[in-house]
Structure 1
């Protein structure tokens, strides 16, 4: 196929989604609910289809094209009789200004997403590498590698990226997954605000608080998976709120089961925010005196999680003897203390990190308070049982970087809205109950996720669950001049921080030195490892010139295999080392050359002494038999 035709194939999933929206649209004209249900349906079915294709070794281009043609056709058939214009959206002048500002920010993110090559560190390290392995192998089975994150971590977002890779033939549209997730997340948050009683302006405020967070703005142009899992969590929140006033229908239960399963298969950090939401939904259903029906619905949700996440966890279990991976892996990332003082200190540290500003005095005051409380309750503020081993609290990184960026304005608004909803006397019971649910998401996250330098993005699901409360309070305060002015000032600061993140953030920026419009594709890809760009290219050129067809890889744990995969599509790349018990490495005698992306010492250990080595840097070399 011509490249243009391959790119056009990427419209098939979009067509399937649009048709599914109309097919599932209720008579009540709730378009946002239809979009959420459609997204959950399309993503959930796709995960199941990927698993089924893996069983027969059919993870390749044509089976995926056939799948999307069938999906688009079937969804169009069911949508044809339900095509109706969406309800007209009427906004106040302030609402129009807010909607326009959101539109400008989202459009800027779209430009950046389309203009950027994937260059996130973790994506190059394991997210995208596993996609190439699946295509090369034709299935999802564990393969030999020294980077065990490729095998251990649940792959829901990568299943969706796999579709774009097979349909288009490259990674040019990969960034659009998280960009689309940010829009869906904002839609779900605005609907939650509606369900809590917010008007149009309040709904837009809630969506804006989410979208302007620098961590969200930066990840919306990335191939990470934090926004994807965050979106499934807030979709679960709005679906759970549907169950607050009515007995769940079969469609309600299936949709909730789908988003719960998608959360579980995308990233484990979402489960801490999901659990209180499911408890909230279950209690709401029980209060309507439907015990047996609630039990059945709860089992259906658990079944949905098992169907979507179970196969991936079973593969990890088969490889390591545990669905959590090798011994000690989860302990390195998850808290080892669950006592209340430790959870309190960890939670305060997590919150403090999101509040980091460019003003040292503010940071010192916040961090000093947290450290003081830690000493008061007799907890070491850097206790290794609640701190990731390479991190030291307090962190001081305030600059917009997608891996670490704080979001002080947005975090302050969410925390203030949550606190007010918990202590305000005259408050609708539903709002209070939702606030307790959001608090539960924060507490459970603090009880499980160790504080770390890059924790701000890991706790996005919990903060997103609290975002609808900002819309509720914005609506209640709009008639109070001083409070309304404060909200306007805070929103202006929020948009400024989001805009700066898109314009000047790392590792992708629209303007200034290092803009995506001033770098070559190769330079973009190596923004996180600039010293390796030239050595990698030289090694690739040498392998191409040699004409070899089977090459062994010697990889350092933090270097990237992905660039070799996409640059040498006609070369079979195999690992000559492996930490996967059930996937032994290829013998060096079976390869025609070696690429070493590792230290000189490790390369010397692996390369046979009679082979000639051509070194391009301290970390990159190629070797051939003499």
Structure 2
């Protein structure tokens, strides 16, 4: 059944190609991006509709895809007949376009991107998803949705699972119910990165015909450490970045080519982007404002303005309102309350300068002998704040600031080379003689970052929230450096970026293709001591020494060094053969990991004794056979008229069983 998804992509791409783009530049890439947006929108809408019918199950999802594929097939047959296109001629056109793209990029760049993509694809398919946020809330939702047959909110200790936008998880829900496997989850982010690279190449083409610009832009985007690491996870930052970069492309595509199709694709991207992550709004706002101003100023485009705005508002509200309403009912806010601490409390201009500077300095840190480089930068940042008369860590402006060194975790890795290339590239824009449209694109990209910094405070994991900015900046970096660098350096730069990215692809802290245990036990200590890097590689650095995903067990991937102490919990729980299991968790508990290791046909899970507003959704007659708790509840307690006693305890986990 999982093949229904690629079948839909092929049919949609073929139909878009023939009906919309066969005579356009970059026709195959445009068709593939448009088809992806349409398929994504179908997933979002169909999931909500199936939820209303309580039909979120394998049969309901499969039937919806069969009907969708049948409609796409019928559409393709009509279009093919109307345009007198054969499968052979279509295939030849696509192959011709691929060959032209290969020639413009060059074999070396194709090789580098191919190696990087192959490594990350292997990890994405082989590894069990084990990102901390994914285990807590991204993937934990799926089991409860499938269990209840809809996507309504449920009682949960983990507020993020019922208040954070769910689009990425809707895609995972479809792949899981169609295949019964978790090994397709991480392909979403990997596929979105592939789509982003196509979009980057298309944006470069809008402003430049330089092959060097294309090579640099693609390698810059594909080798960002946080991007490489996230492409192997089930987070959603690359998914929202796909919709953001697509929005930016279609804005400038419409302004240059006046194709109305681009306007309505922007509306679809806005609806889906907001349904993926709220940060979409901050990055997209400057591009949307620029487009509307340009449309108002030109009579030929003004006639499309009302329809475009109406489509954007209607689609965004239609797609997002059901989820927002469900969240509002529980929390009194359509976006919940758990992210309130991430909002900036700006009281004067200096607070905004503080926010921007900390967001930038997040990426500037690196390893150095005696940590002198980081100490120097940290001192300059403190001096800046002292000159403005505010503390570096003023309450209301985010988490306490910390300079990064070198991190291989998909939550904390930063983009050292990327930020320096952007900062050094800003003055290059003045002498690169770019097209006017390219300068506007560069200005809007910078403004999108400044808008984000206005609303969102500094966070130690903020690097992944900056992914959209770095990917939006990739075409500008490519065009600017290609315009000023000699030919040799323009070819060398992508190679340097590729070499710097390979360790992140191979040695991810959470799911490495090569064993990080070997590296950090045999190789790194010598380097660390010889250069006085002062990097901690002991147990305090969570799960730094990992086995290869080719050999590690799911339990080891989930809990790392803590797995040895937890095996007894799962062995005991499964030995009791419960039909109903209750969870008493914290906000950071690995809900999905428990479900994965305890899942059996007919077994039911539910959160119990919930302390947040979702407690009103607890089933008052649910009496679990056992309760797994990450909170110490003593030797026993009562729940829903049933008594429970402590049966097992280890490593801050407690197992309580019902007393008959």
* Partner Cα distance (2:658, 2:633) in 1: 19
Question: How far 1:319 moved relative to its partner?
Answer: 1.5
> How large is the Cα RMSD of the aligned pairs?
2.3
Partner secondary structure for residue 108 of structure 1: helix
Question: How far 1:292 moved relative to its partner?
Answer: 4.0
Cα distance per residue 1:88-139 (max 9 Å; x no partner): 3155697221121011100111111111000000000011011111101111
TM-score, scaled to structure 1:
0.91
* Partner Cα distance (1:238, 1:339) in 2: 35
**Cross-structure match for 1:69:** 66
Mapping 1:16-35, distance limit 5 Å: 16-25=8-17, 26-29=21-24, 30-35=27-32
> 2:635·2:645 contact (CA, 8 Å) conserved in 1?
no
Are 1:14 and 2:6 matched, yes or no?
A: yes
**Cross-structure match for 2:526:** none
Change (3 A) 1:603 1:169: farther
Change (3 A) 1:338 1:155: farther
**Cross-structure match for 2:500:** 497
> 1:538·1:616 contact (CA, 8 Å) conserved in 2?
no
Are 1:564 and 2:594 matched, yes or no?
A: yes
**Cross-structure match for 1:623:** 656
Deviating more after overlay: 258-267 vs 569-578:
569-578
Partner secondary structure for residue 98 of structure 1: helix
**Cross-structure match for 1:5:** none
* Partner Cα distance (1:129, 1:143) in 2: 12
**What is the aligned counterpart of 1:525 among 536, 555, 558?**
558
Change (3 A) 1:41 1:94: closer
Partner secondary structure for residue 362 of structure 2: helix
Change (3 A) 1:136 1:93: closer
Aligned residue pair count: 604
Deviating more after overlay: 21-30 vs 219-228:
21-30
**Cross-structure match for 1:297:** 308
Question: How far 1:474 moved relative to its partner?
Answer: 3.5
Question: How far 1:269 moved relative to its partner?
Answer: 1.8
* Partner Cα distance (1:562, 1:94) in 2: 41
* Partner Cα distance (1:367, 1:426) in 2: 35
**Cross-structure match for 1:258:** 268
Cα distance per residue 1:126-173 (max 9 Å; x no partner): 110111111011111111111111111000100111111101112121
Change (3 A) 1:220 1:576: same
* Partner Cα distance (1:159, 1:590) in 2: 27
Deviating more after overlay: 423-432 vs 96-105:
423-432
**Cross-structure match for 1:545:** 575
**What is the aligned counterpart of 2:280 among 270, 277, 280?**
270
* Partner Cα distance (1:186, 1:293) in 2: 29
> 2:634·2:646 contact (CA, 8 Å) conserved in 1?
no
Deviating more after overlay: 56-65 vs 334-343:
334-343
Change (3 A) 1:94 1:305: closer
Partner secondary structure for residue 584 of structure 2: strand
Partner secondary structure for residue 459 of structure 1: helix
Structure 1 unaligned segments of length 5 or more: list them.
1-8
**Cross-structure match for 1:613:** 646
Mapping 1:394-543, distance limit 5 Å: 394-421=402-429, 423-424=430-431, 426-478=433-485, 480=486, 484-485=488-489, 487-512=490-515, 513=517, 514-527=547-560, 530-531=561-562, 533-534=563-564, 536-543=566-573
Structure 2 unaligned segments of length 5 or more: list them.
518-546
**Cross-structure match for 1:159:** 170
Question: How far 1:560 moved relative to its partner?
Answer: 1.7
* Partner Cα distance (1:474, 1:425) in 2: 8
Deviating more after overlay: 264-273 vs 356-365:
356-365
**Cross-structure match for 1:78:** 75
> 2:636·2:643 contact (CA, 8 Å) conserved in 1?
no
Question: How far 1:47 moved relative to its partner?
Answer: 0.2
> 2:409·2:510 contact (CA, 8 Å) conserved in 1?
yes
> 2:125·2:187 contact (CA, 8 Å) conserved in 1?
yes
TM-score, scaled to structure 2:
0.86
Question: How far 1:498 moved relative to its partner?
Answer: 1.5
* Partner Cα distance (1:556, 1:603) in 2: 19
* Partner Cα distance (2:411, 2:570) in 1: 28
**Cross-structure match for 2:353:** 344
**Cross-structure match for 1:184:** 195
> 1:445·1:462 contact (CA, 8 Å) conserved in 2?
no
